[in-house]
C-alpha cells in the first residue's frame, strides 16, 4: 500500500445476536415504564443463555408493567420462536429481579425544575462526526457494516432467504487515503458476513445468496473492485446460534452502538438507562454537538468529550478535537470550537433531556443497528442544530 493509505475495520451485529437481544429487552422495559410515567428511573440489565432470560436492576416507576410479557414480545419481534433457532419466546424461562432505585441516588438527582436536575452518575462521554458520508456524517466502515446487518434481518423476515436465522455478524474493512490531514475512504478492502442458518442449505448456496442478496444490495459498486476480499460464513457452519450458542448481556456491544471504533468511547452502556443517566443522554448530546459542528462546515471531522459528577448539573469539562481540520476548513481553532459549543448548547442533563425530548418511549429502536447515523425522526440528536457563530 501507498504510505498515505491505511486500512480500518468496523464490525456490526444484527438484532438476533445474544448481546443485542439483551439490549433490546432492556430498552423495551425502559419504554414500557416511560410510556406511562415519563419520570421513571430505570436501570435495567438483561442476561440470557439457553432456555433462560433474566432482567435485573433498579426501577422506580408509577407505571404498571408486566415485565414478563414485555420480554416475551421482544423475543417474538426479533424472531426467536423455535428452540432450533436458539430460543423460543413462548417457552423460555423468564426471571425478574428488579428493586427500586437507591434513595441516595434519587436525592442528589431530583430537582424542582428539570433544568436543575443533577447528573445521575459521574463519567465521561464522547461524540464523533465526520463528513466522509453525506447526511449521516458517520464513518463509512460503520455505515456499511450496519447496513449489511440490517439487510441480513430484512432477507430473513421477508423470507427472501428463508434459511437465514436470527443470529449474525458483519465486518467491513475500508482502505482510506489521507488528504489534507483527514482520511477519505477509497474502496472496500474486505467484507465478512456470518449468519446463522438452517441445516438444509449448502455452503455454496449460502455464499452465492449472501453475495447477491446482501453484499451487492448494500455496498455501492464504486467501492468494490476485483481485489475486494469476501468471507461468507467463514466458519463453514453456523447452525447453533442465539443464546444457545453464546450467552448474552446488556451493554456488551458499545462500539457497534456508536462509531465502529472511530473516535472514542467513555465506557458507559446506553440500553436500559433512563435519560437522567448521562452515560446515555450526554453521549447523545455529544453526538448532537459533533454533528452540528461538522454540518456547519467548521471542521471535516471532530471528537467531543464531556465529563460529569453525580448530583452536579453542569459538565465539569468540555473538550473538542477537530484532528487539525477546523483551521483548514473554517479558520477556527479547537479552543474557539469549545466556545461555540458553550454558546450554543446547554449541556446540563435536564436541558439535554428537554431539548432532545428524551422522555419518550422510543429507545427500543436504538438498541439494534446503532444509536447514531439513523434517519428517523425519533433520533432527535441526529438533527444538527443551526449554530450562532
CA Rg value for the chain: 21
Compute the distance between CA of residue 152 and CA of residue 307 in angstroms, rounded to an integer.
37
- Note the residue count of the chain: 389
Q: How far apart are CA 59 and CA 62, in angstroms?
A: 10
Phi, psi of 374 (to 5 degrees): -95, 140
What positions carry a catalytic annotation?
17, 19-20, 45, 58, 169, 238, 246-247, 252-253, 273, 277, 279
Judge contact between 342 and 377, C-beta under 8 A. Answer: no
Q: Which residues pair with 12 in a beta bridge?
A: 170
In the block, residue with C-alpha cell 444538527: 384
Lookup result for grid cell 439494534: 368
Can you point out the beta strands (E) in the chain? Answer: 5-13, 41-49, 52-60, 81-82, 87-88, 93-99, 123-130, 164-179, 182-197, 229-232, 248-249, 301-308, 317-321
The set of residues, in sequence order, having a beta carbon less than 8 Å from that of 235 and lying 6+ positions away, is 194
Give the residue ranges of DSSP H helices in 185-329. Answer: 203-210, 216-218, 242-245, 254-257, 278-295, 325-329
Amino acid at each position: 500500500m501507498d504510505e498515505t493509505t491505511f486500512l480500518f475495520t468496523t464490525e456490526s451485529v444484527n438484532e438476533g445476536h445474544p448481546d443485542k437481544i439483551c439490549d433490546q429487552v432492556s430498552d423495551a422495559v425502559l419504554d414500557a415504564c416511560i410510556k406511562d410515567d415519563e419520570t421513571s428511573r430505570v436501570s435495567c440489565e438483561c442476561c440470557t443463555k439457553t432456555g433462560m432470560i433474566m432482567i435485573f436492576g433498579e426501577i422506580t416507576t408509577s407505571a404498571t408493567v408486566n415485565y414478563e410479557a414485555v420480554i416475551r414480545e421482544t423475543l417474538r419481534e426479533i424472531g426467536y420462536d423455535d428452540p432450533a433457532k436458539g430460543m423460543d419466546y413462548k417457552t423460555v424461562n423468564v426471571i425478574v429481579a428488579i428493586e427500586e432505585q437507591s434513595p441516595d441516588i434519587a436525592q442528589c438527582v431530583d430537582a424542582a425544575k428539570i433544568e436543575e436536575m443533577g447528573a445521575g452518575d459521574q463519567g465521561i462521554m464522547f461524540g464523533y462526526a465526520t463528513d466522509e458520508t453525506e447526511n449521516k456524517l458517520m464513518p463509512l466502515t460503520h455505515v456499511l457494516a450496519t447496513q449489511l446487518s440490517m439487510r441480513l434481518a430484512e432477507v430473513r423476515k421477508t423470507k427472501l432467504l428463508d434459511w437465514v436465522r436470527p443470529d449474525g455478524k458483519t465486518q467491513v474493512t475500508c482502505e482510506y487515503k489521507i488528504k489534507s490531514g483527514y482520511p477519505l475512504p477509497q474502496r472496500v478492502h474486505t467484507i465478512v458476513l456470518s449468519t446463522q442458518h438452517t441445516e438444509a442449505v449448502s455452503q455454496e448456496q449460502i455464499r452465492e445468496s449472501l453475495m447477491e442478496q446482501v453484499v451487492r444490495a448494500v455496498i455501492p459498486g464504486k467501492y468494490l473492485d476485483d481485489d475486494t476480499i469476501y468471507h461468507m460464513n467463514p466458519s463453514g457452519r453456523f447452525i447453533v446460534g442465539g443464546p444457545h450458542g453464546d450467552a448474552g448481556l446488556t451493554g456488551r456491544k458499545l462500539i457497534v452502538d456508536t462509531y465502529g471504533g472511530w473516535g472514542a468511547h467513555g465506557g458507559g452502556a446506553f440500553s436500559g438507562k433512563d435519560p437522567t443517566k448521562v452515560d446515555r443522554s450526554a453521549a447523545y448530546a455529544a453526538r448532537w454537538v459533533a454533528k452540528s459542528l461538522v454540518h456547519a462546515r467548521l471542521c471535516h471531522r471532530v471528537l467531543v468529550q464531556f465529563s460529569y459528577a453525580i448530583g452536579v448539573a453542569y459538565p465539569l469539562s468540555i473538550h473538542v478535537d477537530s484532528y487539525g481540520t477546523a483551521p483548514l476548513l473554517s479558520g477556527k481553532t479547537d479552543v474557539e470550537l469549545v466556545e461555540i459549543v458553550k454558546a450554543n448548547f446547554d449541556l446540563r442533563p435536564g436541558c439535554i433531556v428537554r431539548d432532545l425530548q428524551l422522555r419518550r418511549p422510543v429507545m427500543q429502536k436504538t438498541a439494534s443497528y446503532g444509536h447514531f447515523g439513523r434517519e428517523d425522526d425519533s433520533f432527535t440528536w441526529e438533527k444538527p442544530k443551526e449554530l450562532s457563530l
